[in-house]
């Protein structure tokens, strides 16, 4: 490459692209999943390497852990404020629940017309197995120091006080989620109640103010920064399950497979 072309290449605007793909806080074989610890070096490089004109988030997530969603989004906002670099989010199949929490870390959000957006709510689910073990003559024995240590034990009948306690926890998480969306989207939100857990297509979400328009990453970034814009993916290290420590290998793989099943259930909630 001659010096003139090298100079022009260096002068072209550079946009760092981070892919936020998968369930949040859930690992799977060969990948640590979307967590603040796993994404921290990726996000740091995106904002600080090469003086980017912007950072683009490509979001494709059905949600997951509210804590990890909050931590990741807070890290993105802190670095954006420290560096003065704008952040844009582009939704692929879905940015729902925690996935939308991540998208709201951006200054502007775009999606495909058929993307699934929203689900601003918190859910807790499980199984009640007390009838099953009773049918088979199995006795559950639990001994605790502390009256709440067997909170929501699936092998015992539900207690009204446990349900009330869980409801308070979920409501606190929901309030934090709503506060984040309101702080980030502000007056762009329509007057309707958007915090019921409902979902919208990308085309519908524009009218609600949850997103700013329908667009795809590459053409939109070219429209913003010109045809010569350099879109540079920032990738993190991927850990192969084949290289896990020999001790406890089976337990780690089994746990990851269970997490994979949980992630599959999250995607299935949105028909994916």
Q: Residue 90, by phi and psi: left (phi above 0), alpha (psi -120 to 50) or beta?
A: beta
* Domain assignment of residue 168, yes or no: no
Note whether 103 and 59 are within 8 A (CB): yes
The domain tally of the chain equals: 1
Residue 16's H or E segment, with its range, is strand 14-21
Quick check: 244 pLDDT over 50?
no
The answer to whether residue 224 sits within a structural domain is yes
Residue 2's pLDDT is what?
55
Residue 141 has pLDDT above 90, yes or no: no
Domain assignment of residue 160, yes or no:
no
Instruction: Identify the CATH number of the domain in which residue 64 sits.
Output: 3.90.226.10
For the full predicted model, state whether its pTM sits above 0.95.
Answer: no
Inside any domain, residue 147 = no
- pLDDT tens digit string along 256-265? 455 556 666 6
Number of Cβ atoms within 10 Å of the Cβ of 172: 12
Which domain, by its residues, includes 66? 14-120+186-239+255-269
pLDDT, averaged across the chain: 84
Residue with more model confidence, 169 or 54: 54
Residue 82 lies inside a defined structural domain of this protein: yes
CA distance 215 to 55: 16
CB contact at 8 A, 186 and 129: no
Contact yes or no for 62/56 (Cβ under 8 A): no
Coil, strand or helix: which one is 129?
coil
* 33 is a domain residue: yes
């Amino acid at each position: 490459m001659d010096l003139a072309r090298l100079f022009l290449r260096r002068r072209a605007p550079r946009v760092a692209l981070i892919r936020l793909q998968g369930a949040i806080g859930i690992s799977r074989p060969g990948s640590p999943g979307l967590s603040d610890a796993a994404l921290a070096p990726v996000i740091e490089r995106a904002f600080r390497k090469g003086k980017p004109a912007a950072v683009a988030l490509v979001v494709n997530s059905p949600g997951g852990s509210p804590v990890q969603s909050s931590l990741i989004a807070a890290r993105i906002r802190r670095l954006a404020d420290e560096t003065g670099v704008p952040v844009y989010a582009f939704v692929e199949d879905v940015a729902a629940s925690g996935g939308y929490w991540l998208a709201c870390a951006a200054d502007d959000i775009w999606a495909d017309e058929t993307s699934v957006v929203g689900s601003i709510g918190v859910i807790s689910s499980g199984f009640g197995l007390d009838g099953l073990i009773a049918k088979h003559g199995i006795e559950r024995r639990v001994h605790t120091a502390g009256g709440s240590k067997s909170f929501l034990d699936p092998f015992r009948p539900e207690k009204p006080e446990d349900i009330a306690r869980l409801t308070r926890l979920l409501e606190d998480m929901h309030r934090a989620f709503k506060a984040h969306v309101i702080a980030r989207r502000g007056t762009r939100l329509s007057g309707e109640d958007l915090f019921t857990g409902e979902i919208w297509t990308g085309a519908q979400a524009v009218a609600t103010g949850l997103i700013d328009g329908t667009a795809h990453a590459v053409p939109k970034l070219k429209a913003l920064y010109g045809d010569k814009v350099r879109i540079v993916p920032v990738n993190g290290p991927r850990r192969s399950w084949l290289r896990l420590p020999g001790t406890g290998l089976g337990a780690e793989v089994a746990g990851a497979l269970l997490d994979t099943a949980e992630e599959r259930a999250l995607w299935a909630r949105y028909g994916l």
